[in-house]
Structure 1
Amino acid sequence: MSANPPFLTFATEKEKNNTTSIKALLAKYVYYWPVLLATTVVLLVIAFVYLQFADPVYEIKATLLVNPDKTTTSQQDGGQSVLNRIDLPNSAEIVENELAKLKSAKLINEVIRDLELTVSYKVKNGWLYDDVYYNGPFKLRMIKSDLDFGEKSQISLKITVKDEHTFLMENDAGNLQAFSFDKIVHTAMGTWKLEPTKEIINFKGALLKVTLFEPDKLTAFYQKKIDASLEDKLATAVDLTFSTNNKQKGKDIINHLIEVYNEDEIDEKNQETQNTIKFIDQRLASLTGELTGAEKDIENFKSAHKLTDITSDAKFELDKLQSNDARLNEINVQLSIVDGIEAYVNAAKNSNRAPAVIGISDPSLVSSIERLSQLQLQRDQMLATTPETSPDFEQIDSQIRTTKTAIKENVKNIKSSLTNAKNKLQSFNTTSESSISNLPTQERQFISIKRQQSIKENLYVYLLQKREEVSLSYASTVSNYKILDNAYSMPFKWPNKMIVYAIAFFAGICFPAMVIYLKHLLKGKIVDPSEIENELETTILGEISFDKDASSLTDNKGIINEQFRILRTKLHDLRSDGQQSRVTLVTSSIAGEGKSFISSNLGLVLAGAERKSILLELDLRKSAITDSFKLAKGHHGITDFLSGTVAAGDIIRPSGVTPFLDIISGGTVTSHPAELLENGKLNQLIEILKTSYDNIIIDSPPVHLVTDAFILARVSDLTLYVIRQGNTPKSELEFIKKLMKNDKFPLVNIVFNGVNNWKYGYGYTYDHTYYEVVPGK
């Protein structure tokens, strides 16, 4: 068999395709191009208006260089052996902690309080309000606040500046009332007053909106708006950025945040030093009284016994004993400090005050105490922004426990060493005291008193020296960061014209497209041929295109007429061998699906092949066939034959279009058509017509509305079930499937009518230009 003729550009077989092609998808939306275009134009106009009135948003930026504390990042060789098991934080971890601190609620609250950000002032300028951050006409001072924000984040007042001494504000009754500047005002929000500034003269007659913000929500707002980030993961340079409509306000916020961060950093560094100075001062105060008492004892002893000097032997033994006592006293001080450290690490909870390490020469223990103090400070900082139950505390708590374990081991070793040294010195003292006991009693007593005075004097001088060293350290404390760039304003980042117009353009396309998609989705109508084929598990026998200019009868040219010819060919292929005459029932589920249109044009194309055909108007409730062929009404028809009033030959009438097509109209209107169809005469009529006609086409009522079609199916050989694109509900497919399964209709074949590929993007695409060619050219 030869291939299909080249002039046919439509497919003769429908292929299943479960995926929607891009071309079909685009075609469905192109149908609505006026809507898409109008929406896009409107949104572009809105974008233009927005760009004219939108306040520019500037990005304020500052850069800090964070230098990790040297006491943390570098350990002495002696201490490294003990701490090598502890996971000390590296520079990156320390900087991450500083980033969290810069955005902490504590520092943000200080900035808000110092810059008075809980109150904003905006002056009306046309339709909008402009911020007057630093050059406003007055300042609001709350004397006693009764503010109740509830769920709101702000409360606003509208103030009109009448003159330099008076302003207007709505009272509780809603009327404008005059108030004086610098005078106390009592309202529902509390007791307050407005203090005029030197700029008041420039705002005469101006309307200002004064907004009071809820402090906690304002803090949370600035925590989100201020961004602290590393310029490079391998570096310690921190970028502080803040987006705002007011450049000066943004600069003040960032600069003041750096200032309060510096103050807080120095305060934390001085905390340990202050604790040490306090400990030394307490010891010095105690020693002052003891030393005074010892010196008074020497004075009284010499006066009582008239002593002026001691022997050289006694001097030698005394010097040796004093040397041992000085060392013994130093050991006792260290033991006292070690006991304090041991009690500190063994305590269940520790205060912020770390134990003093003055006099401890072991670098390992000193570095461990410093490490523990830093970890405690870091944990306190985290508590300011994070609940204690957070998993983030697990790592730092583990480091604290490990550090305490190392300190305990170190204390144990140091304590043992100091105890041994103490025992040896006490033994030496016993020997020296035995030698001195041989001296005269008076000299021995004097030496004992002198020794006590020397011990206290040496300890007093030692503590004075340490206090000066600590004080010098306190005075020279500096922060661990350096300002690389103070706050400066970058070019405004919003609104960006290209982005705004791009958003408007794509929204103008996407929004109506979404509405169109939802419209088709919620409408629940059949638009895709694959929905029919997949649900009914059958192929579509033929498709008839939609043409809004087409009448109920097609002409002999054009795509729709050619589609009916294709349908005629397929119906011929379905004819049984030896079948001379065939009865074709044309029906549908509901009204408006085009079954009468299909019946009329199918009759024409069958007659066009010079096959004698007749069209029966058996939708007795309507006269669609009679109207399509423009036949005169009032002629006898099928109801008249079924009623027995006329013979079969009296109801047949020519179509007036072709001699090969006749028509039997509905006839006289009846109120009980189903009963007439079942009286048995319909079978007689069909048998009579079969003797004269090759094709008998029955135009029946919708199946889902009346029972007539089920009666007509008994005398039919084949059924053409019409489904119309965009009109037939998807729910009807289940009904049709049951009809086919129960064999209620003979040889059911689907005709997909009203296919509008331009509107829905589904169905075959046909080339109309071929049918526009004039024959002979």
Structure 2
Amino acid sequence: MNENPKIQESDELSLRELIEQYTQYWYLFVIGVLIALVLAFLYLRYTPQLYQSKATIIIKDEKTQSPLEMAAFSQFGSFLSRFKNNQIDNELAIFNSKRLISETVKELQLNIKYEVVGNIKTSELYGYKPFEVKFQSFNEDLDTNVPVLYFKILSSNEFHLESEEIEIADTYNFGEQIRLPFGEITVLPNLEDADKFEGYVNKTLLVSYHTVEKVALGFQDRVNIFNTDGKSNVVELSIQTQNKEKGQDFLDELVRQYNKDAVLDRNEIAKKTSAFIESRLQIITKELDSVESNKEDFKSSNRLTDIQAEAQITLENASEFNKRQLDVSTQMELSNTMIDYIKNSNPDELLPANIGISNESVGTAVNNYNELILYRNKLLQSSTSKNPVVKSVNEQIAQMRANILGSLENSRNGLRIAMKDLNVQENIISSKISQVPAKEKIFRGIERQQTIKEQLYLFLLQQREEASIALAATADRAKIVDSAYGPQEPVSPKKSLIYLGALLAGLLVPFGGIYSFNLLNTKVKGRKDVERHLKSVPIIGEIPKVQKGDSDLIKHNDQSIMAEAYRIFRTNLQYLFINKLEKNEEGKSLIVTSTIKGEGKTFVAFNLALTLALTGKKVVLVGADIRNPQLQRYLPEHLKSKKGLTEYIVYEDLQVADVVAQSEYNENLNIIVSGAIPPNPAELLMQKRTSTLVEELRKQYDYIILDTAPAMLVTDTILINKLADITLYVVRADYTDRRLLDFAKDAIEDGRLTNVAMVLNNVALNNFGYGNKYGYAYSREDRSLLKRILNKQ
């Protein structure tokens, strides 16, 4: 139970350290967010905005308007069901066809683009244009596109035209015909709004011409046409354009072109029917004239004026029979005419509809046959006869034509049988009126023929008028529910999403950079890294990073953060000596070492010696690194050549006073240089003279500081470690690899290094545990506002 709070505290500290890895670079997040927001603003400022326009229509189902016609086609039930289900899909395909969109582009002249050149971006002009370019002619031999033309309005009468592609630059008058390599153009000014026109004077406008097919393909990819509900005929059209009015005009014109195309289809059937009726009228007129002439001649030659009274009753009884004979004869004549027309006409031609055949299934079949012919012709406009859909439709057409012909022949056979029966009945009735003079019988036959021709003539006249009315009273196929409209705000780019994405990117990029840096960085960063590896070894000093322009050495009355850090280092060191050498009044010896070269052990040793000397204690600094001496960096030239540790060990006649030199930095500090570099430094340091030197120095000085070689690279420090009361192990932040701390840990655990205390060198101020972090200002230098914000020294 007692261990849980400790574990919890450790976890909290780890989480806090993790957070501090990012919060110490808060300024990077601020800068990242600012840059991201600025980039988002620039993106929104110069990215073209897209507006969505929508229109809603209802496609009228013509089949539902004639339920009797649908019932007549029961024999084609499966086909008609499939045809009706695909009707809306077919209409959607027509809406999105390149042919229909091309007509829309032509009507609105969308293939000619007008743009005004700005300082940074070019904007399209739609609606009001200061002038209009009329492309009068084109050179068909040119394979290249029409080059972009740059116009600059000079006044209401003239303009400047240039184009780098065709190497032209000249001034022209409005309305003048201009001959260019690709053809001829005429530029007409738009002076309806003088103020708007003046606003474009001295501005550069560019006009680009594209082929209708290319522009139509572009709109075909962008326009969306779909059935909002599979159970209804409601269709929604939408498109995204940079100019809202352009998108709305396009959708409205597309609907108009669709209705126009549907009207043309229906008119084609009506015209074909009208032409057929007109040809039949001419034939019937001639036949009727012939019958009437025969009647006139017969009555004149036989002097017939009235029917005999004795045949009155019989003839009245036969009137109904004559009517039936007349109807059958009429239907046989129409059937024969229709059969002859189908057999002699081209299979690809439309069949005449509504000519009066009483068989309703035949009339309905003809109407559906014509629908399939029109549908097949539309498919052939965008595909070939080898298309599987076209082949399927051709097969359906052939099948329906055969079915229609078969129905007509069956109907004719039935009429022949009926006529045969009627003829038999006629013979019976004729026997009853045998008393009627033969001439009267002949006269009745002539009158019957006349009546048939008259009824057929009147029927065809009626059908011709109906066809004319249908041609004149054609309604739109698509009923407009909502004309094209669109919201005021653009649909792309979304400002809120762009700014939110920029904000997240501004936070994530610095976060990712810091995370990657920390993930790949294996260097010691601060106190916590050392404590994790060396939990039982105390850290008695944290030396801040020397800033550019600062001195490397501690000065008298120094108030800098580094000087204060060494004072804290010195105080902590005193407590170690109190614990370890309370009763020892001789001088105290320290070894300053590190893992590898470059960690600042000589820098730490020299400044520690200066800090101890400032208290009035006698201090001697010994250059014990006789392999690669670094102490000479802080010494004047005359001391660098002085005899030192190497000479003292080798020459037994030398005394301590012979190798000791006075430091120019402090009167209480003496220095013993390393001397000449020997060929056998390890064996030399094992000599007794080395320990003798330390013993002699203990009697003369309060502190003996030995600047030794790196402990991992050579064995020198291990050999003389027993001469030191305390071993100061220097680790350099942002330089020493954390994995190298395992060497110090192993050396301490094995006893190769004893009485070790850690010194952390080159600590960044944001990781530094002392100084102005707690409100104390040890430096008198004036810092800029930016440095104070970023906590830079």
Q: Which amino acid aligns with 1:666?
A: S
Note if 1:69 corresponds to 2:61.
yes
Aligned counterpart, 1:428:
418
Which deviations, in whole Å up to 9, do the C-alpha atoms of 1:88-146 show, x marking residues without a partner? 7679x94x877776665545443443333444556678988887655555322223335
Note if 1:479 corresponds to 2:476.
yes
Give, in whole Å, the separation in 1 of the partners of 2:141 and 2:571: 76
Aligned counterpart, 1:526:
521
Residues 657 and 117 (structure 1 numbering): CA distance in 2 closer, same or farther, change over 3 Å?
A: same
Aligned counterpart, 1:348:
none
130-139 or 307-316, which moves further after superposition? 307-316
Please, which of 23, 40, 56 is the counterpart of residue 27 of structure 1? 23
Query: How far apart are 1:196 and its partner, in Å?
Result: 3.8
Say if 1:64 and 1:484, in contact at 8 Å, map to a contact too: yes
Please, which of 142, 145, 150 is the counterpart of residue 138 of structure 2? 145
Please, which of 75, 78, 88 is the counterpart of residue 71 of structure 2? 78
Aligned counterpart, 2:175:
182
* Structure 2: stretches of 5+ with no match in the other structure: 555-561, 581-588, 779-793
Residues 436 and 746 (structure 1 numbering): CA distance in 2 closer, same or farther, change over 3 Å?
A: farther
SS at match of 1:667: coil
Give, in whole Å, the separation in 2 of the partners of 1:356 and 1:567: 119
Please, which of 660, 681, 684 is the counterpart of residue 681 of structure 1? 684
Give, in whole Å, the separation in 2 of the partners of 1:150 and 1:546: 77
Aligned counterpart, 1:296:
290
Query: How far apart are 1:198 and its partner, in Å?
Result: 3.9
SS at match of 1:193: strand
Which deviations, in whole Å up to 9, do the C-alpha atoms of 1:464-498 show, x marking residues without a partner? 434433443343322244445656786565999x9
SS at match of 1:479: coil
Aligned counterpart, 2:586:
none
Query: How far apart are 1:586 and its partner, in Å?
Result: 1.7
SS at match of 1:158: strand
Say if 1:614 and 1:696, in contact at 8 Å, map to a contact too: yes
Note if 1:514 corresponds to 2:517.
no
Note if 1:274 corresponds to 2:274.
no
Aligned counterpart, 2:205:
209
Give, in whole Å, the separation in 1 of the partners of 2:761 and 2:708: 15
Give, in whole Å, the separation in 2 of the partners of 1:75 and 1:747: 109
Say if 1:185 and 1:192, in contact at 8 Å, map to a contact too: yes
622-631 or 61-70, which moves further after superposition? 622-631
Residues 357 and 118 (structure 1 numbering): CA distance in 2 closer, same or farther, change over 3 Å?
A: same
Give, in whole Å, the separation in 2 of the partners of 1:155 and 1:486: 34
Note if 1:157 corresponds to 2:150.
yes
Give, in whole Å, the separation in 2 of the partners of 1:3 and 1:555: 40
* Structure 1: stretches of 5+ with no match in the other structure: 345-350, 573-580, 704-708
Please, which of 657, 667, 675 is the counterpart of residue 675 of structure 2? 667
Say if 2:97 and 2:220, in contact at 8 Å, map to a contact too: yes
Give, in whole Å, the separation in 2 of the partners of 1:686 and 1:80: 127
Give, in whole Å, the separation in 2 of the partners of 1:687 and 1:599: 19
Residues 658 and 157 (structure 1 numbering): CA distance in 2 closer, same or farther, change over 3 Å?
A: closer
Residues 652 and 457 (structure 1 numbering): CA distance in 2 closer, same or farther, change over 3 Å?
A: farther
Query: How far apart are 1:251 and its partner, in Å?
Result: 3.7
Residues 331 and 225 (structure 1 numbering): CA distance in 2 closer, same or farther, change over 3 Å?
A: closer
Please, which of 625, 635, 640 is the counterpart of residue 618 of structure 1? 625
Give, in whole Å, the separation in 1 of the partners of 2:591 and 2:280: 127
Say if 2:625 and 2:709, in contact at 8 Å, map to a contact too: yes
Say if 1:72 and 1:371, in contact at 8 Å, map to a contact too: no
SS at match of 1:195: strand
Q: Which amino acid aligns with 1:477?
A: T
Which deviations, in whole Å up to 9, do the C-alpha atoms of 1:717-769 show, x marking residues without a partner? 899998755556xxx7899999999xxx99899998655484xxxx8989986
Please, which of 248, 251, 270 is the counterpart of residue 254 of structure 1? 248
Residues 37 and 644 (structure 1 numbering): CA distance in 2 closer, same or farther, change over 3 Å?
A: farther
Say if 1:318 and 1:447, in contact at 8 Å, map to a contact too: no
Aligned counterpart, 2:595:
587
Aligned counterpart, 1:627:
634
Query: How far apart are 1:36 and its partner, in Å?
Result: 5.0
SS at match of 1:144: strand
Say if 1:616 and 1:664, in contact at 8 Å, map to a contact too: yes
SS at match of 1:66: strand
Residues 513 and 258 (structure 1 numbering): CA distance in 2 closer, same or farther, change over 3 Å?
A: closer
Give, in whole Å, the separation in 1 of the partners of 2:475 and 2:407: 37
Aligned counterpart, 1:577:
none
Aligned counterpart, 2:462:
465
Say if 1:16 and 1:530, in contact at 8 Å, map to a contact too: no
SS at match of 2:326: helix
Q: Which amino acid aligns with 1:587?
A: T
Q: Which amino acid aligns with 1:26?
A: Y
Give, in whole Å, the separation in 2 of the partners of 1:558 and 1:519: 31
Q: Which amino acid aligns with 2:328?
A: N
Say if 2:594 and 2:601, in contact at 8 Å, map to a contact too: yes
Give, in whole Å, the separation in 1 of the partners of 2:377 and 2:20: 62
Query: How far apart are 1:288 and its partner, in Å?
Result: 3.0
Which deviations, in whole Å up to 9, do the C-alpha atoms of 1:356-385 show, x marking residues without a partner? 57658657994997599489859958997x
Aligned counterpart, 2:788:
none
Residues 325 and 494 (structure 1 numbering): CA distance in 2 closer, same or farther, change over 3 Å?
A: closer
Who wins on radius of gyration, i.e. which is larger? 2
Query: How far apart are 1:260 and its partner, in Å?
Result: 4.6
Say if 2:117 and 2:204, in contact at 8 Å, map to a contact too: yes
Aligned counterpart, 2:328:
324
Give, in whole Å, the separation in 2 of the partners of 1:340 and 1:539: 109
Aligned counterpart, 2:789:
none
Give, in whole Å, the separation in 2 of the partners of 1:643 and 1:376: 118
Give, in whole Å, the separation in 1 of the partners of 2:711 and 2:332: 118
Residues 424 and 183 (structure 1 numbering): CA distance in 2 closer, same or farther, change over 3 Å?
A: closer
Residues 546 and 739 (structure 1 numbering): CA distance in 2 closer, same or farther, change over 3 Å?
A: closer
Residues 154 and 192 (structure 1 numbering): CA distance in 2 closer, same or farther, change over 3 Å?
A: closer
Structure 2 matches for 1:564-603, cutoff 5 A?
A: 586-588=594-596, 591=598, 593-594=599-600, 596=602
Say if 2:116 and 2:203, in contact at 8 Å, map to a contact too: yes
Give, in whole Å, the separation in 2 of the partners of 1:108 and 1:689: 106
Give, in whole Å, the separation in 1 of the partners of 2:33 and 2:768: 27
Say if 1:122 and 1:132, in contact at 8 Å, map to a contact too: yes
Residues 21 and 58 (structure 1 numbering): CA distance in 2 closer, same or farther, change over 3 Å?
A: same
Give, in whole Å, the separation in 1 of the partners of 2:752 and 2:140: 82
Give, in whole Å, the separation in 2 of the partners of 1:58 and 1:161: 32
Give, in whole Å, the separation in 1 of the partners of 2:151 and 2:472: 50
Residues 736 and 485 (structure 1 numbering): CA distance in 2 closer, same or farther, change over 3 Å?
A: same
Q: Over aligned residue pairs, what C-alpha RMSD do you find?
A: 7.2
Structure 2 matches for 1:726-737, cutoff 5 A?
A: 726-727=734-735
Structure 2 matches for 1:119-134, cutoff 5 A?
A: 119-121=112-114
Give, in whole Å, the separation in 1 of the partners of 2:358 and 2:741: 97
Query: How far apart are 1:155 and its partner, in Å?
Result: 1.5
Give, in whole Å, the separation in 2 of the partners of 1:60 and 1:605: 77
SS at match of 1:157: strand
Query: How far apart are 1:259 and its partner, in Å?
Result: 3.9
Query: How far apart are 1:180 and its partner, in Å?
Result: 3.4
